[in-house]
Amino acid sequence: MTADAATIWTVIAGLAAGTFLIRFSFLGLFGQGSFPEWALRMLRYTPVAVLPGLVAPLVLWPQATQGETDPARLLAALA
């Protein structure tokens, strides 16, 4: 199934508008005030939770080796 250029650009524009509205609604709701203490406490753990989710697939299933585990990558991740 192939789509014409107008359909592709319509989908791209719709997705861009959707992500903008989602992000703007969050900033619009909390941009003027401050977060509650419990929310700030939980947001401190966000980078710690996201980083392993980004790194683990690159170490355990690297695209460069077609999914073969590489001992050098494992040692680098341990370091």
Q: How high is the mean pLDDT of the chain? A: 84
- Categorize the per-residue pLDDT at 7 as very low, low, confident or very high, splitting at 50, 70 and 90: very high
Would you state the structure tokens that stand for residue 48, as one six-digit string?
């710690």
Contact by Cβ (8 Å): 77, 59? yes
Helix/strand/coil (H/E/C) assignment for every residue in 52-74: HHHHHHHHHCCHHHCCCCCHHHH
For 21-68, write each residue's pLDDT tens digit.
988 887 777 677 777 899 888 888 888 889 888 888 888 887 777 777
CB atoms within 10 A of CB 44: 8
- Sign (positive or negative) of CA dihedral 69, 70, 73, 74: positive
Quote the pLDDT of residue 8.
94
